[in-house]
Amino acid sequence: MKLLNLLTSVYLIIIMVALLIGGFFIFKKLGEEIDFELGLELDRQIEAYAERIRQGVSPEALVNERLEIIELPIQLEEEQLNLRDTIAYHDPLNREEKQLKASKSFRIADKHYRISYYNLVIEAEDITETVVYTMLVVFFIQLVFLGLFFRGISNRILKPFQHTLQKIQQFNFQANKPLHFQKSSISEFNQLNEFLEKMTQKLLKDYRQIKEFSENISHEIQTPTAVVSGKLENLMNLDMTEEQALLIYSAYQNNERIHRIVRSLGLLAKLENEEFESPSQIDLSDILIKNIELLSELVILSELKLETDIKPEVMVKMHPFIAEIMVHNLLGNAIKHNLNGGWIKVHLDRHLIKIENSGASIQHDPDELLQRFKKESSNPESIGLGLAIVNQICKTYGFRLSYAPVGNIHLTTIEFK
């Protein structure tokens, strides 16, 4: 969720909660005020009628549908104002309605009168309707304000932050340029930008040092390993004892192993640093078929049964060289870690590539085998980087890799986007 949408949602929730709480208190206060004012008005009406009786007007002449005058025994004490709800006939509406009745007694000219006066009560439903209508109008005004002003103002305030995000997304080690930001009127954004500028400068410096170091190591190791390989090959062509031949062959194998490790680590570093060109749409079906043909001789020598289900023209967005490495490592693992007389099944469609093969059951956690130099097999040809490279390729291109061995069956699946 975008920050602006989150702020808008929070603001709306706060408004709704505030309106609900405010509406409740307005309802209570409005009801109390109406009752209070209505009581005062009824009291004034009763006092006015009592005054007219004092002036000599006959009580019978004053009585109407809202006014009731009853003569009480003179010895009774005067009653104070009494308010209560009642049901009374309302002539204009021609029906009985809930009304407020106010009663009070007076001694006038040696007589005792109880004067009662009725008035319609504003019902809770009417108050609720008024409050709800008012709150909805307020909420609508708030929505208009939110749409026209709040989001516009927030967009303007957050514009430097959006600019910072775009700069970070465009940051690339290959460009070899630290981030630079425009000054903002908001101090917090300036602090963030200053930190990012210093951080990218440090990252690029460290990156250049590590890259230079790894390139130097790779170059310096490759030269002596090539010399050693050449000399060992010359030695193997000379007459020697069987023991000497075995020792020379073992040295040759380990030298080749060092060469493969250096090459694989260099490839991993390039993948992690995204040093390859931008990906393009490639035909993975064609690459997979070509690699199967290249490894067919090895499959035959290992007495493996190979089954393929490859859909044509499966287009995937990635660098073609990286696709070659991914496919070669997957097939190579299925061959190297198989059983004599075993089998391999290869499936490819536009959603995934799946390679299933027979093999010895593993003792380690399958997830560990996706890490560097983690391997189950004692095969000297294996350096423990095949699945690690495939895993890094999947991370780089957003694919989903899963390795699920069950008993003597090993299943490797890569799901595309």
Domains of the chain: 3-126 (no CATH), 187-272 (1.10.287), 280-415 (3.30.565.10)
pLDDT (tens digit per residue) in 58-98: 888 888 777 888 888 888 888 888 877 766 555 555 556 66
pLDDT (tens digit per residue) in 343-361: 999 999 988 889 898 887 7
Q: What is this structure's pTM?
A: 0.44
The rounded distance, in Å, linking the Cα atoms of 393 and 311 is 22
The rounded distance, in Å, linking the Cα atoms of 5 and 155 is 11
Query: Please, are residues 389 and 267 in contact by the beta-carbon 8 Å criterion?
Result: yes
The rounded distance, in Å, linking the Cα atoms of 8 and 180 is 30
The predicted structure's pLDDT at residue 88 = 57
The predicted structure's pLDDT at residue 257 = 65
How many Cα neighbours within 13 Å face the side chain of 263? 13
The rounded distance, in Å, linking the Cα atoms of 340 and 303 is 6
Tell me how far apart the terminal alpha carbons of the chain are, to the nearest angstrom.
Answer: 21
Q: Measured over all CA atoms, what is the biggest interatomic distance in the chain, rounded to whole angstroms?
A: 153
pLDDT (tens digit per residue) in 104-143: 888 888 889 888 887 766 555 666 677 777 777 877 777 7
Instruction: Write out the two tokens for 371.
Output: 């890490």
CB 291: neighbour CB atoms within 10 A?
20
Choice between 240 and 53, residue whose per-residue pLDDT is larger: 53
Instruction: Write out the two tokens for 379.
Output: 């095969």
Mean pLDDT of 283-304: 87
pLDDT category, 382, cuts 50, 70, 90?
very low
Q: Which residues contact 199 (CB under 8 A, 6 or more apart)?
A: none
pLDDT (tens digit per residue) in 139-169: 777 777 766 676 677 667 777 777 888 887 7
Buried b (16+ CB within 10 A) or exposed e, 349-360: eeeebbbbbbbe
pLDDT (tens digit per residue) in 161-203: 778 888 877 777 667 778 887 787 778 878 888 888 888 888 7
SS3 259: helix
pLDDT category, 54, cuts 50, 70, 90?
confident
Q: DSSP letters of 275-339?
A: -SPPPEEEEHHHHHHHHHHHTHHHHHHTT-EEEEEE-S--EEEE-HHHHHHHHHHHHHHHHHTS-
Q: Considering only CA atoms, which of 375, 353, 350 is closest in space to residue 364?
A: 375
Mean pLDDT of 253-262: 66
Provide φ and ψ at 331, rounded to 5°: -70, -40
Please name the helix (run of DSSP H) or strand (run of DSSP E) that holds residue 54, with its range, or none. Answer: helix 3-54
Partner residues linked to 306 by β-bridges: 344
Q: What is the mean pLDDT of the chain?
A: 76
How many Cα neighbours within 13 Å face the side chain of 310? 21
Q: DSSP letters of 184-244?
A: -SSHHHHHHHHHHHHHHHHHHHHHHHHHHHHHHHHHHHHHHHHHHHHHHHHHHTS---HHH
